[in-house]
Structure 1
Amino acid sequence: MTASSPSLWLRLKRLSLVTQIIIGLIAGIALALFAPEVAKSTAFIGKVFVSALKAVAPILVFVLVMASIANHKHGQETHIRPILFLYLLGTFAAAVVAVVASTLFPSSLVLATHDVAVTAPGGISEVLQSLLLSVVDNPVSALMNANFIGILAWAIGMGVAIRHAGDTTREVLGDLSNGVTLIVRLVIRFAPLGIFGLVASTLATSGFGALIGYVHLLAVLLGCMLFVALVMNPVIVFWKLRRNPYPLVITCLRESGITAFFTRSSAANIPVNLELSKRLGLHEDTYSVSIPLGATINMAGAAITITVLTLAAVHTLGIAVDIPTAILLSIVAAICACGASGVAGGSLLLIPLACSLFGIPSEIAMQVVAVGFIIGVLQDSAETALNSSTDVLFTAAACLGEEQKAQRLA
């Protein structure tokens, strides 16, 4: 008996995080189904996981954004300006698609809102006033109170300032960023256990009707990503090239998207995208810069995730959203997506920033993040596939567009 236990533990450790999450999800459902009273007691496990996410999210946003800006090479953007424009346009367009889809097909979640005060903003003017006050918040206070807008503002300011510091300072900041990322990965490794507690306690308390909300939410997320991949991105490429975009779109989805779907990491898919760019005959000086940069800032899938989950929380809490506020959310979601962490589920940790626009406190926002991890088995894979394949698609579109422009001028 003693010899078999380590063997079982080792077999579980060798499984991928996706497989472990599936096991935790199934185990939570089974426990809620066959032993609901026991399942209710697992709520503490879920609370520990959510608390750990709340602890790492503020420092993650602050350090990663600051390090990314501080270590950005001077003059890099002059080589890839058209690609950067397509990256930003595509990410914003994806956020707009998510807003429209969430309005047409609103999702409801099961959230523990008792003992939590929710103050809904009165309109766009109040949102902008709150936004400005959050931007100028004390940095220590912003970190302590999880004021993500203030954290983002200070991270950008410090990153720009440290760009002019010595190489040693920027290297230390890069090492700090790697250290924080390692801690986040450690926390996320406990996601299967946390999801087990969250699913078991939620289903035992609220009934299996809670699963319907998750299925609907996942359908909206995946629907948005498919629409962007097969409709919105081709429209952008056609606008750039003025020719049938689908051969290029299908090639990028097949050669890059499928690999990214299973690796669930834009960074891990960089070598695949570089090789595909080479086979497409693109300029090496361009794609050698744009592909790694795209893995960081070209995040259409992340923008969809942030927007859909935020609006699901907004709809659940009965907060009205007017058109100007929806547009502001699209802009904020696009900016948040550009700063999404490279670790699995990194976009989920930026949801509290978008939620703060609507006065949703961190306690509720982190419950939405936990829901994101529950559906993340498919959501994160599809998000990464969209993000990574779009890196090559927009790089190719910009390069081919510049070649066509040069031929016309000649």
Structure 2
Amino acid sequence: MLEPFNPKFPLAKTLNRIPFILQIIIGLVFGILLAIVYPHDTSVVPMFGTLFVKALKAIAPILVFVLVAAAIARHQKGTQANIRPVIVLYIVSMLFASTLAVVMSYLFPSNFTELQDAVEGVSPPMGIGEVLSNVVQQAIDNPINALIQGNYICILIWAVALGLAFRAAHDNTKRVLEDLAQSISAVVRMVIRFAPLGVMGLVYSASTHEGGFGNLLNYLHVLVVLIATMLIIAFVVNAIIVYLTTGENPYPLILLCLARSGVTAFFTRSSAANLPVNLELCEELKLPRTTYSITIPLGCTINMSGAGVTIVIMTMAAVHTLGVQVDFLSALLMCIVSVVCACGASGVAGGSLMLIPLACSIFGISNDIAMQIVGIGFIIGVLQDSSETALNSATDVLFTAAACRRAEKIAQKKAAKEQKSAS
């Protein structure tokens, strides 16, 4: 959930009364109208989009570094055994979601016309061997230089290493790291508050660029692919996972979670804001409080199937546009990276978009090009982010309930077996 503007200012009071998603839509519409009325502006209106992308580009490296380090550092040792199955379901779901996103990207490839001018500056890797070689070479660098250059592979390595080291630190030290993560997230929210102006500039530039309004149809295409993939995950992939876990018809539980949790999360666009709804639903399902009181808040942090889908599909759109040849193993590596990245995307509006440069770096796509993809993501974010949050939040309850029902069945079988043995 985005923080409101300072209510002391009259303009801020007015803006706070307008839902942020509506502000994005207004910015999008204004961008299209300006492109129709006055398509010859090359400085003022496009500048809003340029500055917005530059601000995102500036904050993204430190965001990835701090979020991943904090997420690993706050992991608690000695997690209860009944929590572990839920975490396994979270991870398995994200891996399948990312893999499905790769398949959908191949079946329905998206292209962004405005990126085609950058094809000459891209040096695509020649297979998984070169990808792994590039990863190793990028991983060894000074962390300060990595932050300056936007070397996301190195940033991720240092974040994981420091996060693991901080797990042995005092609680007060961990709180400092967590406070830093929240502070960086607050700065990101400040930047994203200017998304309506940024979207206006980006839409104007896309509409007046070579290809005109046809560029917007490319955005619609990738949005349809994103939402279709999330629907398949919600009704097919998750259904299979829940059936294999419980042995029961999964759809009554899936529909209940989507209706009670997914719908509210769609409009709040925040897993954290939807937390009370999920906890109440778990209470109504009579799930053990000792389980859901941990797994539901944890799901807000690490259960990010929707984020994994967004990262993969947007990255693959850049790959297709730039003509980069990607083999299956390289795509699988990106899926794994996407899952790791998605676990650090919680609590930040547009967090999944901010992690796209890390996935792009695997294929030799520069940070400048990747941030253009992030800008496009904010244009379609009106529906993309809402659908992503709905999927993430609903599956928090779904997998917690599935794991609890499985544990209950196992306990009943064990009790019956012991009773039979005693008799």
Counterpart of 1:150 (choices 147, 150, 154) is 154
Summarize the alignment of residues 1-400 of structure 1 with structure 2, pairs less than 5 Å apart. Answer: 10-38=13-41, 41-76=44-79, 78-112=81-115, 114=117, 117-206=121-210, 207-400=212-405
The answer to whether the 8 A contact 1:111-1:364 is kept is: no
Deviation per CA, 1:65-105, whole angstroms, max 9, x where unpaired? 21222222222264411111100000111111111111000
Deviation per CA, 1:207-254, whole angstroms, max 9, x where unpaired? 000011011010000000000001110010001111110000000000
**1:406 shift after superposition:** 1.7
In 2, the alpha carbon distance for the partners of 1:167 and 1:279 equals 34
SS of 1:122's equivalent in the other structure is coil
With 134-143 and 249-258 compared, the bigger mean Cα shift is at: 134-143
User: Structure 1, unaligned stretches of length 5 or more?
Assistant: 1-5
Q: Which amino acid is the alignment partner of residue 279 of structure 2?
A: L
Task: Please report the RMSD computed on the Cα atoms of aligned residues, expressed in angstroms.
Answer: 1.5
Q: Which amino acid is the alignment partner of residue 159 of structure 1?
A: G
Change (3 A) 1:171 1:252: same
**1:362 shift after superposition:** 0.3
The answer to whether the 8 A contact 1:273-1:291 is kept is: yes
The answer to whether the 8 A contact 2:115-2:321 is kept is: no
Q: Which amino acid is the alignment partner of residue 380 of structure 1?
A: D
In 2, the alpha carbon distance for the partners of 1:62 and 1:275 equals 34
In 2, the alpha carbon distance for the partners of 1:112 and 1:252 equals 39
In 2, the alpha carbon distance for the partners of 1:304 and 1:354 equals 12
User: What percentage of residue pairs aligned between the two structures are identical?
Assistant: 55
The answer to whether the 8 A contact 1:63-1:176 is kept is: yes
In 2, the alpha carbon distance for the partners of 1:216 and 1:197 equals 21
| TM-score (norm: length of structure 2) | 0.93
Deviation per CA, 1:230-283, whole angstroms, max 9, x where unpaired? 111001000111111000000000010001001100111111111101111111
In 2, the alpha carbon distance for the partners of 1:12 and 1:277 equals 35
User: Structure 2, unaligned stretches of length 5 or more?
Assistant: 1-8, 416-423
In 2, the alpha carbon distance for the partners of 1:11 and 1:114 equals 40
**1:137 shift after superposition:** 2.3
Count residues in correspondence: 405
The answer to whether the 8 A contact 1:77-1:84 is kept is: no
With 358-367 and 14-23 compared, the bigger mean Cα shift is at: 14-23
In 1, the alpha carbon distance for the partners of 2:392 and 2:250 equals 18
Q: Which amino acid is the alignment partner of residue 191 of structure 2?
A: V
In 1, the alpha carbon distance for the partners of 2:43 and 2:257 equals 46
The answer to whether the 8 A contact 1:195-1:374 is kept is: yes
SS of 1:38's equivalent in the other structure is coil
In 1, the alpha carbon distance for the partners of 2:392 and 2:259 equals 13
| TM-score (norm: length of structure 1) | 0.95
In 1, the alpha carbon distance for the partners of 2:18 and 2:233 equals 32
In 2, the alpha carbon distance for the partners of 1:178 and 1:322 equals 37
The answer to whether the 8 A contact 1:40-1:201 is kept is: no
**1:110 shift after superposition:** 2.7
Change (3 A) 1:243 1:168: closer
In 2, the alpha carbon distance for the partners of 1:365 and 1:121 equals 16
The answer to whether the 8 A contact 1:39-1:200 is kept is: no
In 2, the alpha carbon distance for the partners of 1:378 and 1:331 equals 25
